[in-house]
A = this chain, B = another copy of it.
Amino acid sequence: MAFLLNGDSATATLLLQMLLVFAAAKLFAEVSEFLGQPAVVGELLAGVLIGPSVLNWVQPNDLLTVFSELGVLFLLFQVGLELKDFKLMRVGWDALAIASIGVLVPFVLGRQIMLALGHPQLEAAFVGAAMVATSVGITAKVLADLGLLNHRASKLILAAAIIDDVLGLIVLAVVSSLAKGPVNYIELSLTALLAVAFTVLVAQFGTRTFEKLVPHIDRAMKSSKSQFILSIVLLFGLSILASRAGVAAIIGAFLAGMALASSINGETKTQTAGVTEFLVPFFLAGIGLHMDLSVFARPQTMWICGAILVAAIVSKLIGCGLGAARLGLRNAIRVGVGMIPRGEVGMVVAQIGLNMGVIPKDVYAIVVFMSIATTMVAPSLLKLAYRDLLPEK
């Protein structure tokens, strides 16, 4: 009807989209848990189902992308908040071993497969780079849902994922530079150095700083929500700084959570958990929305998809597992499985390759498939790997 407030009909469409994504994600999370699977699997599948590949009720768009990006930021922030006595530097060497071997093996394997299939050098290198990226959000969400975030292997996964992110960014930078001409190794080293310095500084001094600062801020501010306001400002501030320093914004969000973990009160944590709970379905279902099942139309692509998917799973399992070998087989498997999901990070790498004209559309679709499929497989494997620590039914 033309005489309704015109602003409202656009709002109604937007609200309907958001309701669809949120409700579908939560409904499938329920079904997934009912079937003994992690809730995360259901939320990812909900995105595939309502997305363009199946029902086509919702298409990925800018707005949903924003909610998805905010969702993963709040997710990592909340994970940081809920960690108890986590010293990034103390697990540093183990995490470095896990991340390094876990970057090397997938890159080499992915590249070799594409070369063996007759794809050009640069294309193969890009696929390798996309297979390097770990999406720590998914693993963190599963572990948080299971109440296992503070287990030794879980903390190692989080630490390794941070290092993995820096290494992955370097690999991507080298590969992208190769596509454009000679690589500027000085600029590259400076960026890497800045990224590492930022992470180490915040991880090392953040917690102590806020343990001292927060009581002062509480006293100085009139608002009863001063700790909540501080949380939001620090979450956004460190996310922006991280992204300026050359690390992913989610690392900044995670560090912000870590820095505040021991200084803010329970009510504030419940409030930020509310925002997280509201936004995370957009991140999870949002990944599912990007699934393009039409890649399976050509049998040949299907085989490559399968090979790349298996390589992506096995290479992280072996690479990260090797890095974690000295923790015993069981923990090595947990770490290996936890690093499998490529999620949004793999998708971003594929997007860059496509935009640069380095990878063609079908290879792009394969990488996106690999990113989403690894993300869907990992949660159930993770639950299996941690099954002896879960309460009996």
A interface with B by C-beta (< 8 Å): 1-9, 11-12, 14-16, 18-19, 22-23, 26, 29-30, 33-34, 39, 62-63, 66, 69, 73, 169, 172-173, 176-177, 180, 187-188, 191, 221-223, 225, 228-229, 232-233, 236-237, 239-240, 243-244, 246, 248-249, 267, 270-275, 277-278, 348, 351-352, 355
Q: In the bound complex, do residue A237 and residue B19 qualify as a contact, i.e. CB atoms below 8 Å apart?
A: yes
The contact of A223 among B14, B33, B188, by CB within 8 Å, is B33
Apart from the given pairs A8-B243, A12-B239, 20 other A-B contacts in the complex at a CB distance below 8 Å = A2-B176, A2-B180, A3-B173, A3-B188, A3-B191, A4-B191, A5-B169, A6-B355, A8-B248, A8-B249, A8-B348, A11-B69, A15-B239, A19-B236, A22-B236, A34-B222, A270-B271, A271-B271, A271-B273, A273-B274
3 closest Cβ pairs, A-B complex: A271-B274, A274-B274, A3-B173
Interfacial chain B residues near A237, Cβ < 8 Å: 19
A3-B277 in contact given A39-B223, A243-B8 (Cβ < 8 Å): no
Interfacial chain B residues near A3, Cβ < 8 Å: 172-173, 176-177, 188, 191
The contact of A348 among B7, B18, B69, B275, by CB within 8 Å, is B7
Number of copies: 2
The complex places the Cα of A191 from the Cα of B8 at a distance, in Å, of 15
CB distance from A47 to the nearest CB of B (A): 17
Interfacial chain B residues near A14, Cβ < 8 Å: 66, 69
Interfacial chain B residues near A8, Cβ < 8 Å: 243, 248-249, 348
Residue of B nearest to A356 (CB): B6
Residue of B nearest to A237 (CB): B19
CB distance from A155 to the nearest CB of B (A): 23
Q: In the bound complex, do residue B236 and residue A12 qualify as a contact, i.e. CB atoms below 8 Å apart?
A: no
CB distance from A287 to the nearest CB of B (A): 14
CB distance from A56 to the nearest CB of B (A): 20
Q: In the bound complex, do residue B246 and residue A1 qualify as a contact, i.e. CB atoms below 8 Å apart?
A: yes
Q: Which of A7, A18, A267 has the most C-beta atoms of chain B within 10 angstroms of its own C-beta? A: A7
Residue of B nearest to A278 (CB): B275
The complex places the Cα of A385 from the Cα of B169 at a distance, in Å, of 59
The complex places the Cα of A147 from the Cα of B267 at a distance, in Å, of 19
A352-B236 in contact given A63-B66, A271-B277 (Cβ < 8 Å): no
Interfacial chain B residues near A275, Cβ < 8 Å: 274-275, 278
Q: In the bound complex, do residue A243 and residue B12 qualify as a contact, i.e. CB atoms below 8 Å apart?
A: yes
Interfacial chain B residues near A7, Cβ < 8 Å: 348, 351
Interfacial chain B residues near A18, Cβ < 8 Å: 236
Interfacial chain B residues near A348, Cβ < 8 Å: 5-8
The complex places the Cα of A21 from the Cα of B173 at a distance, in Å, of 33
Q: In the bound complex, do residue A249 and residue B15 qualify as a contact, i.e. CB atoms below 8 Å apart?
A: yes
CB pairs A–B below 8 angstroms (17 shown): A1-B191, A3-B176, A3-B188, A3-B191, A6-B348, A6-B355, A7-B351, A9-B243, A12-B239, A15-B243, A18-B236, A19-B240, A23-B233, A30-B221, A232-B278, A271-B277, A274-B274
Interfacial chain B residues near A177, Cβ < 8 Å: 3
Q: Which of A8, A221, A248, A348 has the most C-beta atoms of chain B within 10 angstroms of its own C-beta? A: A8
The complex places the Cα of A277 from the Cα of B224 at a distance, in Å, of 11
CB distance from A117 to the nearest CB of B (A): 27
